[in-house]
Amino acid sequence: MRRLAVLLALLSVVLAACSAVPSDSPTVQITQAPTRLDEEVGIEPLSPEPGATPEEVVRGFLDAAASTVRGHPVAREYLAPESRDSWSDEGDVTVLGQDYATVTTDSGTVAVTADLVGTIDQRGVFSVGGQEVYTREFTLQQVDGEWRVADPPDGLLVLEPDFERLYQRRDLYFLDPTGQRVVPDPRYLIGGEAQPTVLVERLLDGPSSTLDAGVRNALDGAALRSTVTVSAQAVTVDLTGLADVPPSQLPQLCAQLVWTLEQLPSVRSVEILSDGEPLALPGVPTMQTVDTWTTFDPEAVPVDAVGHYLDGGALWTAADPPAPAPGPAGAGAYGLTTAAVATDPGTAALTQTAGTAVRDGQATLLVGPYGGELAPVLAGGTLSAPTVAATRGEFWVVRDGGAVVRVPAAGGTPQAVSAPTLPGLGRTTVLQLSPDGVRAAVVVADGQRDVLYVGTVVRSQEGPVALRDLREVTPTLGQVVDVAWRTAGSLLVLAGDAGEDRIVPYVVGVDGWGLATVPTAGLPSQATRVAAAPGRPPLVSAGGTIWQWQVAGGTWVTLVPGTQPVRGDEPFYPL
């Protein structure tokens, strides 16, 4: 699993290095922690110049928001005396595009216009700005002959380049409902020595509002006794409030802390104390690492689970060399149009197959053991490609563009998933569950655009499974064709490019930050379908053939490099 994590990180670096944010895309906003750090990071802004014009003062105030000094003293120098004392930098954060304009109006105010990249609330939760434009008029007054801002908005206005320079993505990790995996909840923090304490504080505060109903927090009710300390790449976390925590919950609590803290470059191990004493867990070392809790790995995938695809209605494996899957599905007996394969979380064996077939204008979902006979379990006018999560033995499909249905992989009655807001958004063409089963990526055609949403899967004993809190994550992409989960916290998307004249791959974080194109070098034509899984090379179908991403060359190559492309479509990875 550690090797998979390294491969994943390498793929991320290569994709990022070879990609570029679309120039006409509204900037995507990121979560920032409202808690400011004491130490300085980066280059501090300059104080106002004598004789500066009103527009120069407003621009200077915006630049000064990039300070990492508590209270933003330089930014306050741009304010009139009354505003200087009353202005708060602890409110929401607004991230603006780099190319903003300042214009002096007829009334003497200075109007600022910019692309709204996004906003961050006081919990550090990120919301994409969409294609909105930020506008605000600043009133200025003269103080001792110098112009100063009289009505600054509370919170921070940060330019996108400053945000990218100062802030780092750090994931908080919570638990999926089964307690099998930790689930990432992205936050963005200013770098510095205070990051470990800030991360633990955020973890204790709980998940973001959109994720809250879909995960568990084993740290609920706990509190920090003191600041988190770092010594020789070891972190010590001293908690209180653990006396009533059930012993069965302590491993989950530790996994959350260790996976959250060990992503920091300065951290190699974590010591957890309860009221000053080492937290005693049988068989668990005092200094814990992610290797101690590999069973909770958010990026775990079956080691031997190669990609699959369809060719002429038959199920094939993307092995070296490619070969038909075992059983009648591999022989083409069902004329499959889409498929998915589930695995056993314990043994990683391929266990169940689901596939759709279309006859006489009617779509049918067939389910059965991998390599065995498939039986019809669900019918509809249309059915989306089935999808499965590694933590759940069930397949999901969308029937007739709006009704989400889950089907037990081992047999059983199909059950409706409550998704009351989904039909109102348009016709659903794609639904893909995240590897942990906590989120779902959904492509919806609303008549004018094909839009990508990410929602949260909510499970409770009292009611049906629900898909809630759908939020658009790529508002600048108006023609989304397909989507796959590259990791538990990022997506690989096929969508129209800036000119909407061709389909290209993109990567984007689950929160909408970091939208970037992926090179198309090597592909014979534009891609039509995409597949991805943590630590696995992405697959696409293009020109009726299957291609995979080659990390070393930063290009797309045939399934067996150096050989002719193989025919196929609808690639996917078993989970």
pLDDT tens digits along 403-425: 999 999 888 899 999 999 999 99
Whether the pLDDT of residue 35 is over 60: the answer is: no
Mean pLDDT of 352-378: 97
- 3-state SS assignment for residue 28: coil
Instruction: Compute the distance between CA of residue 454 and CA of residue 319 in angstroms, rounded to an integer.
Output: 31
Q: Determine the pLDDT at residue 10.
A: 34
- 3-state SS assignment for residue 223: strand
Q: Determine the pLDDT at residue 42.
A: 53
pLDDT digits (tens, 9 = 90+) for 387-402: 999 999 999 999 999 9
Q: Could you check whether 2-23+301-572 and 54-166 share the same CATH topology? A: no
Question: For the whole model, what pTM was predicted?
Answer: 0.89
Q: Determine the pLDDT at residue 276.
A: 96
Whether the pLDDT of residue 57 is over 80: the answer is: yes
For the CA atoms of 111, 116, 121, 125, what is the dihedral angle to 10 degrees?
A: -170
CATH topology of domain 2-23+301-572: Neuraminidase (2.120.10)
Q: 1-5, 147-151, 484-488: which has the minimum mean pLDDT?
A: 1-5
Mean per-residue pLDDT over the chain, rounded = 90
Whether the pLDDT of residue 176 is over 70: the answer is: yes
Mean pLDDT of 33-45: 49
Percent of the chain having pLDDT more than 70?
Answer: 92
Whether the pLDDT of residue 571 is over 50: the answer is: yes
Residue ranges per structural domain of the chain: 2-23+301-572, 54-166, 167-296
Q: Is residue 241 within 8 Å of 222, Cβ to Cβ?
A: yes
CATH for 54-166, options being 1.10.8, 3.40.50, 3.10.450, 3.30.70: 3.10.450
56 φψ region: left (φ > 0), alpha (ψ -120 to 50), beta (else): alpha
Instruction: Compute the distance between CA of residue 514 and CA of residue 185 in angstroms, rounded to an integer.
Output: 15
The amino acid at residue 538 is P
pLDDT digits (tens, 9 = 90+) for 446-502: 988 999 999 999 998 777 899 999 999 999 898 999 999 999 999 999 999 767 679
- Strands across the sheet with 480-487, in order? 480-487, 490-496, 503-509, 516-517
Structure tokens at 546: 């299957």
Antiparallel, parallel or unpaired: β 415-417 and 287-288: unpaired
pLDDT bracket for residue 2 (50, 70, 90): very low
Number of H helices, E strands in the chain: 9, 41
C-alpha neighbours within 13 Å on the C-beta side of residue 24? 7
Q: Is residue 496 within 8 Å of 12, Cβ to Cβ?
A: no
Q: Determine the pLDDT at residue 186.
A: 93
pLDDT digits (tens, 9 = 90+) for 208-262: 999 999 999 999 999 999 999 999 899 999 999 999 899 999 999 999 999 999 9
**Higher local confidence (pLDDT), 275 or 12:** 275
